Amino acid sequence: MSFNSFSFILIYFPIVLILWHGLNRLQKWKLADCSLIAASLVLYGFFSTKFVLILLFSCLINYGISRLIISGGDKLSGFIHIAGIIFNVILLGYFKYTNFFISNISAITGKDIPEINIMLPVGISFYVFSQIAFITDIKREKCNKIKDTEKLGNVDIFEYLFYIAYFPKIVQGPIALPYEIISQIRDRGRRQLKAENFRRGMELFVIGLSKKVLLGDNLSKIADHGFKYTYYMDTLTGALVLISYAFQLYFDFSGYCDMAEGVSLMLGIELPQNFNSPYKAVSVRNIWQRWHMTLTRFFVRYVYIPLGGSRKGKVRTALNVIIIFTLSGLWHGAGWTYICWGLIMGVMVVWDDLGIMAVKGDEKKNYLLRQKPLVLIPKKLGQILTFVMFLISLIFFRSQNMTYAIQFFKQLAIPTWPGFMYKTSSMLDISENYLAITAINMYAKQYTNIIYLISWIILLVISILVINSKNAHEIVEKKNNTKRHLIFLVLIFIWSFISLSQVSTFIYFQF
């Protein structure tokens, strides 16, 4: 069950809200927790009951590991912690990477090794990372190496299940740190139904829903068709398809993040911000301070720093950056295209860190090679160059395989014009075009393709305007209570709600 579905909006979430706030008002704290855990498992079970069993199995094992870490001596705790990380990596690796390794072994050896029929549990990458964070923070708390935990050592099984299975974050993030959720569970004051939280939550949900349904879903039709028929793509169409995919990715992920934060706020629990206008970034490093912020934080906190961070010299710092971005690529998908994408991102971030070129206003940063950047460029130029570099990397991220990725580059590099743009734009056979297309078909059928093409261009222009305007957080925090603002929210909600019949799933479900 997705947030952008009739069943979630009309049935599931209203019931969850009534149960949660009703039980908390009666001060049945533990019963309220159990109701939300059960509701989370029910929502997750809509994908598959087998997924629920895998989730519960991993939760019981990891909770048991955390108890052993607490009760054991220093050496034993360290061994158990490492064993726990290995268990989680194996769990994730089995479901997500087994067939990837089998196919590569087959290619290397020349033997036809059959792949295993494995169904990837939705959101497993997110909850496995959350469990690694929990047992690692337990170990650090035991060694008194961190102060931002909320006494994780005395977390009971219900609090742990709440943290892992909490439905606004389990299938697509954010990857919240243990204390960020558990401290709020323990704060009875946060369980009160507050009008301000409800207002902010509803606004975030409506804005996120509209971005996902009205922009992301429609752009996905263009992107999916374009990348499917890469070999037929002409140069201009290929460029527009790539931009459309970049916008689809933006609206799909930012829309989900807004909805997840909105749903959680209405329940009185704040999720960490995971998305902050990344296409306004002035460097590739800056993108990852804005895009999937909690994933970047996870890799920095649990991989980059343990590897030595920036403390072991310039070469090691650059290598550590490339390692975490390669892992990030592999986390996003089991394929060489994702690994290449991660490597490209890592190399680009290292390039930013070298200090050869920088944006005005960022020249005071500590660079790897120089104290001051060699070349300073205007902020706007930095944003454009950053977006173009990110666009190029997305060819690997979205292509079916390396062959298709290389072909996409060829299609962009060698100017062609076979007229595939009309075929691609015709994918926008959407309800918003119904009246115009019906009229054109009746009186001037030869112009039908023009209508689709104009619709595509309008969709891209609207996307650019939305991306360059204030993001959902900035709009909500402004506390705009004017009639115009309220009417706008109502209209986009009604429009989005009517359009729910043609929704697509979230991109990040596959990760």
Report whether 79 contacts 68 (CB < 8 A): no
Residue 166 has pLDDT above 90, yes or no: yes
Residue 321 has pLDDT above 80, yes or no: yes
Q: Which domain holds residue 290?
A: 194-511
In a domain, 213, yes or no: yes
Model pTM above 0.75? yes
Give, in order, the Cα–Cα distances in Å from 77 to each of 90, 137, 141, 346, 386: 20, 12, 12, 33, 44
Please give the pLDDT value at position 377: 86
What mean pLDDT do residues 186-206 have?
90
Q: Are residues 426 and 461 in the same domain?
A: yes
pLDDT band at 107 (very low <50, low <70, confident <90, very high): confident
Give the whole-angstrom CA distance, residue 40 versus residue 53. Answer: 13
SS3 string, 161-221, reads HHHHHCHHHHCCCCCCCHHHHHHHHHCHHHHCCCHHHHHHHHHHHHHHHHHHHHHHHHHHH
Picking from 392, 243, 404, 284, the residue whose alpha carbon sits closest to that of residue 336 is: 404
What mean pLDDT do residues 112-128 have?
89
Check whether the bond before 174 is cis (ω within 30° of 0): yes
Residue 511 has pLDDT above 80, yes or no: no
Please give the pLDDT value at position 408: 92
Q: How many domains does the chain have?
A: 2
pLDDT band at 125 (very low <50, low <70, confident <90, very high): very high
Q: Of 106-120, 147-161, 400-414, which range is least confident?
A: 147-161
Please identify, among 159, 192, 225, the residue that sits at the C-terminal boundary of a domain: 192
Please give the pLDDT value at position 373: 79
In a domain, 120, yes or no: yes
What mean pLDDT do residues 142-161 have?
75
262 or 152, higher pLDDT: 262
Picking from 218, 217, 225, the residue whose alpha carbon sits closest to that of residue 242 is: 225
In a domain, 1, yes or no: no
Counting residues of the chain whose pLDDT is more than 90, the rounded percentage is 54
Q: Are residues 227 and 282 in the same domain?
A: yes
- State the chain's maximal CA–CA distance in angstroms: 83
Please give the pLDDT value at position 397: 93
Report whether 102 contacts 83 (CB < 8 A): no
Q: Are residues 261 and 349 in the same domain?
A: yes
Report whether 377 contacts 360 (CB < 8 A): yes
Q: Are residues 174 and 212 in the same domain?
A: no
Q: Are residues 198 and 340 in the same domain?
A: yes
Please give the pLDDT value at position 143: 76
Q: Are residues 175 and 210 in the same domain?
A: no
pLDDT band at 189 (very low <50, low <70, confident <90, very high): confident
Give, in order, the Cα–Cα distances in Å from 11 to each of 18, 353, 443: 11, 50, 44
Please give the pLDDT value at position 144: 72
Picking from 163, 120, 132, the residue whose alpha carbon sits closest to that of residue 332 is: 120
Q: Are residues 355 and 492 in the same domain?
A: yes
Please give the pLDDT value at position 440: 66
Please identify, among 172, 192, 212, the residue that sits at the C-terminal boundary of a domain: 192
What mean pLDDT do residues 326-347 have?
93
Please give the pLDDT value at position 478: 81
Q: Are residues 264 and 398 in the same domain?
A: yes
Please give the pLDDT value at position 25: 92
Report whether 206 contacts 489 (CB < 8 A): yes
Express each pLDDT in 42-94 by its tens digit: 999 998 999 999 999 999 999 999 999 988 877 888 899 999 999 999 999 99
Q: Are residues 149 and 212 in the same domain?
A: no
Question: What b/e string do you get for 142-170 counting C-beta neighbours within 10 Å, with b at 16 or more?
Answer: beeeeeebbebeebeeebbbbbbbbbbbb
Give the whole-angstrom CA distance, residue 4 versus residue 501. Answer: 10
In a domain, 461, yes or no: yes
Please give the pLDDT value at position 304: 92
Please identify, among 192, 226, 242, the residue that sits at the C-terminal boundary of a domain: 192
Please give the pLDDT value at position 277: 92
Residue 148 has pLDDT above 60, yes or no: no
Q: What DSSP line would sit under 424-466, residue for residue?
A: HHTT---GGGHHHHHHHHHH-GGGHHHHHHHHHHHHHHHHHHH
Give, in order, the Cα–Cα distances in Å from 332 to each of 151, 306, 398: 32, 22, 11
Give the whole-angstrom CA distance, residue 281 versus residue 293. Answer: 13
| Residue 306: Cβ-neighbour burial (10 angstroms; 0-12, 13-18, 19+) | exposed
Q: Phi/psi zone of residue 374: left (φ > 0), alpha (ψ -120 to 50 degrees), beta?
A: alpha
Please give the pLDDT value at position 262: 94
Amino acid at 466: V
Give the whole-angstrom CA distance, residue 507 versus residue 166. Answer: 20
Give the whole-angstrom CA distance, residue 162 versus residue 34. Answer: 8
Picking from 247, 261, 273, the residue whose alpha carbon sits closest to that of residue 205 is: 261
353 or 146, higher pLDDT: 353
Q: Report the chain's mean pLDDT, rounded to a whole number.
A: 88
Question: Long-range contacts for 353-356 (Cβ within 8 Å, ≥24 apart)?
Answer: 353/285, 353/317, 353/318, 353/321
Picking from 301, 351, 303, the residue whose alpha carbon sits closest to that of residue 323 is: 303
Express each pLDDT in 250-303 by its tens digit: 999 999 999 999 999 999 999 999 999 999 999 898 999 999 999 999 999 999
Which pair of structure tokens corresponds to residue 225? 């068709």
Give the whole-angstrom CA distance, residue 471 versus residue 217. Answer: 19
